[in-house]
Chains A and B, each alone.
Chain A
Amino acid sequence: MPTATVDGIEVEFELGATVLQVCELAGKEIPRFCYHERLSVAGNCRMCLVQIEGGPPKPAASCAMPCAPDMKIHTDTPMVKKAREGVLEFLLINHPLDCPICDQGGECDLQDQAMAYGVDHTRFEENKRAVDDKNMGPLIKTIMTRCIHCTRCVRFSTEIAGVTDMGLAGRGENAEITTYLEKALDSELSGNVIDLCPVGALTSRPYAFTARPWELRKTESIDVMDAVGSNIRIDARGREVMRVLPRLHEDINEEWISDKTRYIWDGLKRQRLDKPYVKKDGKLQPVSWDEAFDAIAARLKGVDGKKIAAIAGDLADTEAMYALKGLMANLGSANLDCRQNGSSLGGERSSYLFNTTIAGIEEADAILLIGTNPRTEAPLINARIRKRWLEGGLKVANIGPVADLTYDVAQLGAGPETLSTVASGASDFAKVLKGAERPMLIIGQGALARADGAAILAEAAKVAETTGMVKDGWNGFNVLHTAAATVAGLDLGFVPGQVGKGTRDILTGAMGGEIEVVYLLGADEIDTGALDKAFVIYQGSHGDAGAHAADVILPGAAYTEKNALWVSTEGRVQAGRRAVFAPGDAKEDWAILRALSAQLGKTLPYDSLGELRTKLFADHPHMAELDTVQTGASLDLSKVGKAGEMDGSAFRLAISDFYLTNPIARASAIMAECSALFDGRRQEEAAG
């Protein structure tokens, strides 16, 4: 490998590396504003100037200059120091000195670098320029006078989010970052421009003027808005979550998160269940925990286990499901389901996982999407597909509703019939898949959550089999989940056994009277109208559909308020951590179930989360392996799903409104505003 010297330190580097990267290899910090590892190189801020021996007698922008073998680079000469001071002086000419009222204050690149590399005075006596603020929607607040034109936001929205709405209008002194006609960024990843902005030009609108970075307590946790398992950092002050930021995880979310993940936090404060309730005289009345448990015990007395059922919702944590499963077993019931949408996934682990893994998408060369819109169901998986697509040589085809996924997609058809043509090899895309070295398919809940879901899953497995998607070192069969809880539930076997009833049967059973008691563990996406006759116990964090149908409400903790394990669609087990305490009388979910079990005389065999986890790990050893994905597992495609008659109707998407998919989101005013704005715009587009 070629070598170069940085300040006398010799380092080896790979050809194609830039001078800036080589300096970093040597452990030298190069200040920068416009350069970002995941974006194209713009080279317009000039902050990364270094001196190169033997080159032209002027500083060179290290981010844009490829490093040559035997180059002698200097980052600490008087020339470099002077150049940096000069660049900062220019940048600060038009930058307002409003740090005390700027939301970026304390975590601002310009502030930090001005302290480290700048001079302490200004020679500029003319008026500073002022720039009109731009409207960028309900999520992004703009103070454009602060903008230093690094164009990171423009490059992010164009390259990674795939929406070419932002640009740099005008020139020179009058250059301005703007969106075309000042419309809001129509992207589910738009919030990331706030993190990218090195100054306070783009800040979070809902977070504006609420907190300073140094007063926040930072907790590293896991997101549950979708099944991706994005790594997040929850910033809290006192008992309040103030904001959510992404955390770097190369194999999952890189350093991005979706807008729902980022802006959900105001939903954590509204519509909360903070007291137990019991329905008395047709009305829910606040009671003590003991009264609530007594009411349940009284109702359950003498009820046959077969008449009791449990459904786990999208945001149920692993420990709570494990405890509920234990309780149901103690009560003698096999009627339990973690698949609110009525899909029939289950069985062998790799038959319901995203086996390729998110990082693995980057090696794929042909992708078939079945009944899924990854842009709304898993924005970061969609961003990964787009990243792969930008590299070239990736063919994507879709069976299901047409959607703008930010990359070219061949639309094959709308429903099971098209899937069959691909499975039989008659479709042109079947040949593409066959010819591909690493083909993959992604089947979404839109195709699985139907009565014929098992048959469709079997047909998809047939596609995988005939096109050779599962082979040595490559597994291209992927199920995309939309709920953070489902994979954990399936891993735990939170599904009806041979004799038990699934979600569909529980609901019809409750209508017919065969099911008398239904335990909803945060299940809100079911048809609660079917539960009128049954005695409904709702345990959850928000007063949503499930709580409205409940006879007893047990207030639980939301995902920011408990230590819990989450299993992503990849099958990756990750630990979420408690950032704040649950409001009022609400308790962690496993603890509620443990207390209830004692009241019912069916005590669960653990007294602490640690003991529960010991049992959980003994029963399901893979749960103990945090942050790993199972690779190379065999998958017998012929056993996936259940071949059968497929209904001819077209696939419908699992998510109709990205911003309102769960109880927390439905309680959030920010999400409601986004939903109204983008839905309204879509309808306008459809009409006009």
Chain B
Amino acid sequence: MAVRRLSPNQPKEPFEFSEENLAWAKEQLKKFPEGREQSAVIPFLWRAQNQNGGHVTQPIINYLADMLNMAEIRVYEVATFYTMFNLAPVGEHLVQVCTTTPCWLRGSDEIVKVCKSKIAEKQQTLSEDGKFSWMEVECLGACANAPMIQIGDDYFEDLDEKSMEEILDRLAKGEEVKPGSQTGRTSSEPVGELTSLTDPEVIQGGAK
């Protein structure tokens, strides 16, 4: 993880929540007693980031600080603390590659290699067509299906070089991709056949 700072290029125009998000925000604020609005800063930053195409900007920080009655530096602290918040523009498809030990043992280096060749040599930079960017992340909690990545809100699991390339190619063409395991198994069931709980009676007996 590197030093996280706001991107040097910041939009001049102020940020505002969309109508839908503003309605949501007003509803959320009712949950907090007066003077404690700042507790809502994380979900608000998250909404704002999504509305803004995936990254947090200085106008967003100023807007939320004002809305939540807190100092700008306090919003900035939160935005720089959590890696969920991107501080520089990201691609429409943000590829987050898990490189923590289980994924790494199962070949995340290959996945990173594909990202480097297909998206950009350096992480957190936009691809040439501007549609992609990638970044290494810490464990995303799907170790049973390692190696895995997250694109947008979806997990893509049981990857190898080939399936990774295919996903990126399909996304680049604007085609549908199927989230989840890319080898066809259901969630995190065993890769081959069942090795335990093979006796249906045991299962049914357990259902009694």
Interface residues of A (CB under 8 A from B): 158, 164-174, 176, 178-181
Contact = CB atoms under 8 A, between A and B. Distances in A.
B144 interface: no
Contacts of B73: 164-167, 178-180
A168 B77 contact: yes
B4 A170 contact: yes
A350 to B, nearest CB: 39
B24 interface: no
B125 interface: no
Contacts of A174: 1-4
B76 A180 contact: yes
A164 B71 contact: yes
Nearest to A180: B73
Contacts of B1: 172-174
B74 A164 contact: yes
B-side interface mostly: helix
* Closest A-B pairs by Cβ, 4 of them: A164-B71, A167-B73, A180-B73, A169-B80
Nearest to B82: A171
B38 to A, nearest CB: 11
A181 B71 CA distance: 12
Contact of A170 (B3, B58, B72, B74): B3
Nearest to B81: A171
Contacts of B74: 164, 167
Contacts of B76: 167, 169, 180
Contacts of B80: 169-171
B5 interface: yes
B120 to A, nearest CB: 22
Contacts of A164: 71, 73-74
Contacts of A168: 77
A167 B77 contact: yes
27 contacts: A164-B71, A165-B71, A165-B73, A166-B73, A167-B71, A167-B74, A167-B76, A168-B77, A169-B76, A169-B77, A169-B80, A169-B81, A170-B3, A170-B4, A170-B80, A170-B81, A171-B80, A172-B1, A173-B1, A174-B1, A174-B2, A176-B3, A178-B73, A179-B73, A180-B71, A180-B72, A180-B76
Nearest to A129: B3
Contacts of B4: 169-170, 174
- Which of A172, A173, A174 neighbours the largest number of chain B CB atoms within 10 Å of its CB? A174
A158 B81 CA distance: 19
Contacts of A178: 73
Contacts of A172: 1
Contacts of B71: 158, 164-165, 167, 180
A331 to B, nearest CB: 59
Contacts of B2: 174
Interface in B2-36: 2-5
Give the interface centre of B2, B58, B81 by most chain A CB atoms within 10 Å.
B81
A178 B4 CA distance: 12
A176 B73 CA distance: 12
Interface in B42-87: 58, 71-74, 76-77, 80-81
Contacts of A171: 80-81
A172 B71 CA distance: 22
A180 B5 CA distance: 11
A297 B138 CA distance: 87
Contacts of B5: 169
A534 B3 CA distance: 67
Contacts of B72: 180
Nearest to A167: B73
A170 B3 CA distance: 7
A178 B77 CA distance: 10
Contacts of A180: 71-73, 76
A165 B75 CA distance: 11
B160 to A, nearest CB: 32
A165 B1 CA distance: 25
A61 to B, nearest CB: 22
B84 to A, nearest CB: 12
A179 B77 CA distance: 10
B119 to A, nearest CB: 24
Nearest to A157: B73
Nearest to B10: A181
A131 to B, nearest CB: 8
Interface centre among A166, A167, A180 (most CB of B within 10 A): A180
A164 B77 CA distance: 12
Contacts of A179: 73
Contacts of B3: 170, 174, 176
A178 B80 CA distance: 12
Nearest to A181: B58
A53 B1 CA distance: 40
Contacts of A169: 4-5, 76-77, 80-81
B42 to A, nearest CB: 14
A173 B3 CA distance: 9
A164 B4 CA distance: 20
A179 B72 CA distance: 10
A181 B73 CA distance: 9
A156 to B, nearest CB: 14
A282 B90 CA distance: 73
A77 to B, nearest CB: 36
A169 B1 CA distance: 14
Contacts of B58: 181
A115 to B, nearest CB: 32
A167 B76 CA distance: 8
A167 B73 CA distance: 6
A172 B1 CA distance: 10
Given A176-B3, A180-B76, 12 more contacts: A158-B71, A164-B73, A167-B71, A167-B76, A169-B5, A169-B77, A170-B80, A171-B80, A171-B81, A172-B1, A174-B3, A178-B73
B78 to A, nearest CB: 10
A419 to B, nearest CB: 32
Nearest to B77: A167
A451 to B, nearest CB: 43
A449 to B, nearest CB: 36
Contacts of B77: 167-169
A173 B81 CA distance: 11
Residue among B3, B71, B72, B73 with most chain A CB within 10 A: B73
A158 B72 CA distance: 12
A71 B115 CA distance: 59
A178 B5 CA distance: 11
B199 to A, nearest CB: 47
